[in-house]
Amino acid sequence: MRMKKGFWLAWIAGIMMACSPKSDCLYEGMTFADERMERGVKQAAALWRAEDGSKEEFQAFVTAHYAQTEEERTALFESLSRLMERLNESADVLTIELLKPTQLTNAGEPTEIDWIMSGYNASAHVADDLFANKVAFISILNFPFYSLEEKNRLGEHWTRQQWAEARLGDVFTSRVPAEVQAALSQAFANAENYIADYNICMDQLRTEDGRQLFPDGMKLLSHWNLRDELKVDYDNQEKQEMIYQVMKRIVTQTIPADAINNADYVWKPYSTTDEREPDTRYQKILDVFHAMQLMDAYCPSMPTAIIRNFEGDIEMPAEEVERLFKELIGSEQVRKVAAEIKTRLGRDLRPYDIWYDGFKARSGMDENKLSAETRKRFPTPEAYEKKIAGMLTTLGFQKENAEDIARHIVVEPARGSGHAWPCVGRNEKARLRTRINADGMDYKGYNIAVHEMGHNVEEVISLYRMDYYMLHGIPNTGFTETSAFLFQARDLQLLGYSKQEMNREAVLDQFWGMYEIMGMSLVDMNMWRWLYAHPKATASELREATLQIAAAIWNAYYEPILGEKDCVLLGIYSHMVNSPMYLPNYPIGHIVQFQLEEALADKTPAQWAQNYERWYRLGRLTPNHWMKQAVNGELSVQPILRKIE
């Protein structure tokens, strides 16, 4: 997972505000030199407030600051791009430092002050300042905003600089007060801190007859580590059933309050009825929702977090995303793959088989032996960091190129499950964060580290190798997840095992992974739709609604395959708490990954690396245009469905 930051400056992309009667009068009587000037003037007028000046002052401002020649406009673009990079970078550096105690295990135990400052937004007032000194208006006037529909329609004929100018136009599209930005940052920080410390002490779980199934000292973070432990326990279904029971109790909030991160509390997941955790999980979601709501009034053309997330961030309408997901999870191919899993397991499928891991190359390998190998190779974060360049050369990157990329990546021990923190300025490093135990990096930690390294390599290439700063990055977060998946699928190859190919097993593994995460994503999306329909809901009402949503999606697409009517397992993902509507990025990433893997199928390692770098130097085009330039196609589940037939 990459931390969802976007620009760290206080603006959060919405869309241009519709002109009000007041803003109309600001440009009454003006003549426009061209369509771009008219667009810029009207968008600037829509954000101009009384305290910014009178009608006469507005028109004088336009006359003084509209770039009349291409030379003036290019010089202004370069100046604003440099400003954006420096402001993004400085806010990011401060944020990284403030968050170290709560995010990294080598920064000491966080104090009360550290927890308070983890919610501080280092850039909350920057947008206000840039509107106050009129820099934002200069940018809007000369580099106006284009809608998603316009970008997709016009972008085919744009030059790279025109694309970069359009991305500059995305920056100042709403005028959100600093106090609203600060409230949102605090809500996110509170949710993140809650999830980062939600551990289950597995050695304290007991069967109904009092047996301990898990080894002493095993502490698993929900949901990530619980899921990964379940995947490796296919030789012990009793363990899987116990983990499944714990997961259900987390979702339903019937887990004992004392069971969370408590190494002294012994309990039975099937029968313990001690005082349950309050609806904290759902209250954190509500807190984020209400903070998001505060922004709605300042983004009238994108008046909900749902629209801003899908049409603004992902740049795909929610309805299109939902259609793609239902096309796959409702396909006949699901039954075919499920039948094969059932044959391999020799039993009827259970709900937790949604995480069946038997198609992976490592599924027949002893994870304890793999962990022994990874602990030896990577005893510390520094040891992993030193080996990044060598791992990149294994994948096909030229030695000098690999070393240059590796120089821009630093490895740090995560307090949570692990994530990638991107570099947003060319004086920064990308940060790879994963859990590393005192005895070294076990295989689970290594597998996550390789995933996060995929993010980091994308982040370095799409920033340091980019022709225009305003194009740095990728179309949406799903495309950086694609990079992470491309690397993660080759984790054994990086340990010296045979090259991992996109064979039939790998296709089945990708398909089943899509089937799992698409259902989780639909729960997340529909939970947010429910929130907007019930904005005054309590945490307990949200809990009940989420359980009903999860059960309904399960009954429609999963119960016929995996059994157990009204199962709520689809509500387990921690992202639903600390990263609202992030989940759709994963299946989008898987869809893109499959299409890229097809394009790489017959390539040598050197060609693999060359294609990878070409793709991630395309930058922040829309998903539509990125796919056209990368593989001459569109985002679709049909390629993988055809492979399953």
CA–CA distance, 109 with 102 (Å, rounded to integer): 8
Count H helices and E strands in the chain, helices first. Answer: 29, 5
pTM of the model: 0.85
- pLDDT value of position 366: 85
Mean pLDDT computed over every residue of the chain: 92
DSSP string covering 123-134: TTTHHHHHHHTT
Q: What is the mean pLDDT of each run of 10 residues along the chain (645 residues)?
A: 46 35 70 92 93 95 95 97 96 92 89 88 84 96 94 95 97 88 91 94 98 97 94 96 98 98 97 96 98 90 91 94 98 97 97 94 79 95 96 97 98 86 95 90 91 97 97 94 92 86 85 97 98 98 98 98 98 96 94 92 92 97 96 94 90
67-72: list long-range contacts, CB under 8 Å, 24+ apart: 67/142, 68/33
- pLDDT value of position 389: 98
Provide the 3-class DSSP secondary structure of residue 565.
Answer: coil
Q: 431 has which bridge partners?
A: 410, 421
- pLDDT value of position 2: 65
Contact 491, 637 (CB under 8 A): no
Count of residues in the chain: 645
CA–CA distance, 485 with 44 (Å, rounded to integer): 41
- Residue among 128, 129, 139 at smallest CA distance from 177: 128
Ordered by start, the domain boundaries in the chain are 21-144, 366-491
* Pairing relationship of beta strands 199-201 and 219-221 according to DSSP bridges: antiparallel
| Tens-place pLDDT, residues 99-147 | 999 999 888 889 999 988 888 878 878 888 999 999 999 999 999 999 9
- pLDDT value of position 1: 65
- pLDDT value of position 498: 78
- pLDDT value of position 436: 86
What burial class does residue 221 get, using C-beta atoms within 10 Å of its C-beta: 0-12 exposed, 13-18 middle, 19+ buried? buried
Contact 570, 516 (CB under 8 A): no
DSSP string covering 260-288: BT-TT--B-TTT--SPBPPTHHHHHHHHH
